[in-house]
């Protein structure tokens, strides 16, 4: 069998599938040889990679709109603000018609049901918030840039707050607990389980302060977003495309990458085991994935790997989107069965080395992949996926289809209107600041004593600090223990230290 026929046969699936494009072979596009990916294997995860400007975003859009049409909800992280067009029909034009003719596509403009979210309400979208308690110490350590020792200390702080019923809703709650545990009154509370050094507490507090100065305080609080809302379908049965608008926080890359991991971990923690399904419950596109793995500890990477491996059996597919496969650790990359590799550039020795490493990750193919990967045009990619029986398909250089929705952002006014019309807007729009750890700790502060006449001489006592006023009373320890007795419980945490409680 000649190579073209062999490649075409490898993508001739009997069940429902996403149509990606048509095979490129010997310098020509062959619409009679479509390249597809079965719906049933999309929970085996995937990778969309390629240099800047090669068409990764349009690939996400193409896959999202077809998943939606098949009744599968989709989550998209919109880094540049140009994926909002998925909610509007595309615009016909000469380039679109030409691409459709080349790949055998019957193109027609179509929009998807979409919801728009924003981290903490910064930017256009329904605010997505998490409580500090549910975010957990592992992910918070990653976003604060703490080392292993400091991460362990933060875990100890969370352990104490959980046991004493001191809910960490926002960052001021966490600051209050750290301040108490390093005070004379609070230090004995942790003595039996390791204690908290003043130096480590200082690092954590300084990191929290810097974090808040970047505006990150808005991301933590209530009402907390229920990730189960990402599994919604529209009244006509199409899957809802949830678009997280991130342009307003592009200068805080560690934050949004870690927040995406929280969403994924929250889904993992709350969904039941379902095994292999005819189609996934949700497909989650994790953009700028390299940011998640930069400077990550071994333990953090192990947690990511475990979550990705196990969430498959809960019906969730995860596609990591990044510039190069080398951005993703080998243990994670080995779990990504579906690959869409856009063009790579080899302008430097490091680029050339990365190109060779990428080629080695593909199955044996009749293509000269080094040549193909550096010569692909915009909207072209090298594809290999899992077939319906779980075996890899032949490597196929592919000219991808054109999305049927708008390839660009919608008008800002239309976007704002869509956000306010959402049935979720009223639920999440307004932040709530209820009683939590900060309020419980400050409630122990005794009435301020009447001012005294200053004593004479150099031995005059300095005025107590705010912290000393808050925790300098013997009634404080009694309060903390009372809270622990009445409300406290050890929260069960997942591999990332996150929690999930029915909201």
Question: What would the pLDDT profile of 269-328 be if each residue is shown by its tens digit?
Answer: 889 999 889 999 999 998 888 888 887 878 888 888 999 999 999 999 999 999 989 899
Using the Cα atoms of residue 219, residue 223, residue 227 and residue 231 in order, give the sign of their dihedral. negative
Q: Measured between alpha carbons, how far is 370 from 375 in angstroms, rounded to an integer?
A: 9
| Residue corresponding to tokens 């020509």 | 28
Q: Measured between alpha carbons, how far is 125 from 87 in angstroms, rounded to an integer?
A: 13
Burial of 502 (0-12, 13-18, 19+ CB in 10 A): exposed
Using the Cα atoms of residue 265, residue 72, residue 279 and residue 328 in order, give the sign of their dihedral. negative
* Segments of the chain scoring below 50 in pLDDT: 447-448, 450, 453, 455-490, 502-503
Q: Measured between alpha carbons, how far is 299 from 305 in angstroms, rounded to an integer?
A: 10
Q: Are strands 126-128 and 114-119 parallel, antiparallel or unpaired?
A: parallel
Would you say 313 and 351 are in contact if contact means Cβ atoms under 8 Å apart? no
Distances (CA, A) of 122 to 249, 287, 358: 8, 18, 37
Give the global pTM. 0.86
Q: Measured between alpha carbons, how far is 90 from 162 in angstroms, rounded to an integer?
A: 50
Q: Measured between alpha carbons, how far is 323 from 319 in angstroms, rounded to an integer?
A: 13
User: If one looks up domain 3-129+222-428 in CATH, what number appears?
Assistant: 3.40.50.300
Q: Among 16, 32, 35, 6, which Cα is nearest to 399's? A: 35
Half-sphere exposure of 213 (CA within 13 A, CB side): 7
Half-sphere exposure of 382 (CA within 13 A, CB side): 26
Q: Measured between alpha carbons, how far is 5 from 10 in angstroms, rounded to an integer?
A: 9
Q: Which residues contact 65 (CB under 8 A, 6 or more apart)?
A: 86, 110, 112, 241, 403, 404, 405
| Residue corresponding to tokens 């362990």 | 152
- Identify the three-state secondary structure at position 403: coil
Which pLDDT score is estimated for 256?
Answer: 82
Question: Which two structure tokens, joined as six digits, stand for 127?
Answer: 């605010």
Q: Measured between alpha carbons, how far is 284 from 64 in angstroms, rounded to an integer?
A: 10
**Cβ neighbours, 10 Å, residue 418:** 19
Q: Measured between alpha carbons, how far is 118 from 96 in angstroms, rounded to an integer?
A: 31
Distances (CA, A) of 252 to 256, 307, 491: 7, 24, 29
Q: Among 446, 473, 474, 483, which Cα is nearest to 160's? A: 483
Q: Are strands 46-49 and 338-341 parallel, antiparallel or unpaired?
A: parallel
Which pLDDT score is estimated for 484?
Answer: 41
Using the Cα atoms of residue 481, residue 482, residue 483 and residue 488 in order, give the sign of their dihedral. positive
Q: Measured between alpha carbons, how far is 198 from 394 in angstroms, rounded to an integer?
A: 58
The two most distant CA atoms of the chain are separated, in Å, by 103
Q: Which residues contact 277 (CB under 8 A, 6 or more apart)?
A: 40, 43, 315
E-only strand ranges, 395-486: 396-400
Q: Among 387, 446, 432, which Cα is nearest to 14's? A: 387
Q: Measured between alpha carbons, how far is 125 from 461 in angstroms, rounded to an integer?
A: 53
Domain boundaries, the chain: 3-129+222-428, 132-220+443-447+461-486
Q: Measured between alpha carbons, how far is 189 from 285 in angstroms, rounded to an integer?
A: 43
**∠ CA 234-238-242 to the nearest 5 degrees?**
70
**Cβ neighbours, 10 Å, residue 184:** 10
Which pLDDT score is estimated for 191?
Answer: 75
E-only strand ranges, 132-261: 241-245
Question: Which two structure tokens, joined as six digits, stand for 229?
Answer: 């809302």
Backbone dihedral angles phi then psi of residue 430, each to the nearest 5 degrees? -100, 125
**DSSP of 289-329, one letter per residue?**
THHHHTT--HHHHHHHHHHHHHHGGGTEEEEEEES-GGGS-
Q: Among 260, 180, 186, which Cα is nearest to 219's? A: 260
């Amino acid at each position: 069998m000649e190579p073209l026929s062999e490649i075409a046969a490898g993508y001739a699936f009997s069940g429902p599938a996403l149509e990606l494009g048509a095979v490129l072979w010997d310098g020509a596009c062959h619409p009679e040889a479509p390249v597809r990916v079965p719906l049933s294997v999309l929970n085996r995860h995937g990778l969309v990679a390629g240099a800047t400007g090669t068409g990764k975003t349009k690939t996400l859009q193409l896959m999202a709109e077809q998943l939606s049409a098949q009744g599968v909800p989709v989550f998209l992280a919109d880094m540049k603000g140009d994926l909002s067009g998925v909610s509007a029909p595309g615009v016909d034009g000469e380039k679109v018609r030409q691409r459709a003719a080349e790949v055998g596509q019957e193109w027609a403009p179509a929009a998807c049901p979409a919801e728009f979210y924003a981290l903490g309400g910064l930017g256009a979208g329904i605010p997505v918030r998490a409580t500090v308690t549910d975010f957990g110490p592992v992910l918070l350590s990653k976003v604060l840039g703490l080392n292993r020792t400091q991460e362990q200390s933060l875990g100890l702080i969370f352990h104490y707050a959980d046991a004493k019923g001191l809910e960490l809703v926002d960052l001021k709650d966490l600051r209050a607990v750290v301040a108490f545990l390093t005070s004379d009154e609070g230090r004995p509370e942790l003595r039996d389980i390791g204690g908290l050094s003043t130096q480590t507490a200082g690092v954590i507090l300084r990191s929290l302060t810097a974090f808040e100065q970047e505006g990150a305080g808005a991301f933590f609080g209530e009402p907390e977003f229920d990730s189960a809302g990402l599994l919604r379908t529209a009244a006509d049965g199409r899957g809802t495309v949830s678009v997280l608008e991130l342009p307003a926080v592009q200068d805080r890359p560690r934050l949004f990458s870690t927040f995406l991991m929280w969403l994924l971990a929250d889904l993992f923690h709350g969904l039941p085991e379902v095994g292999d399904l005819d189609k996934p419950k949700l497909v989650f596109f994790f953009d700028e994935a390299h940011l998640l793995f930069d400077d990550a500890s071994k333990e953090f990477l192990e947690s990511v790997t475990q979550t990705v491996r196990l969430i498959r059996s809960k019906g969730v597919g995860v596609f990591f989107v990044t510039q190069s496969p080398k951005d993703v650790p080998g243990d994670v990359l080995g779990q990504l069965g579906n690959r869409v590799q856009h063009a790579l550039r080899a302008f430097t020795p490091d680029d050339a080395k990365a190109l060779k490493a990428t080629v080695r990750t593909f199955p044996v193919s009749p293509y000269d992949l080094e040549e193909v990967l550096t010569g692909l045009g915009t909207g072209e990619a090298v594809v290999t996926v899992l077939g319906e029986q779980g075996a890899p398909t032949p490597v196929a250089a592919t000219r991808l289809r054109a999305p049927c929705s708008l390839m660009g952002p919608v008008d800002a006014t239309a976007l704002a209107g869509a956000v306010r019309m959402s049935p979720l807007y009223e639920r999440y729009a307004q932040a709530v600041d209820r009683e939590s750890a900060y309020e419980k700790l400050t409630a122990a502060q005794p009435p301020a004593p009447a001012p005294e006449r200053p004593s004479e001489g150099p031995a005059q006592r300095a005025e107590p600090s705010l912290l000393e006023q808050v925790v300098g009373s013997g009634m404080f320890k009694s309060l903390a223990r009372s809270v622990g007795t009445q409300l406290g419980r050890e929260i069960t945490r997942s591999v990332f230290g996150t929690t999930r409680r029915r909201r």
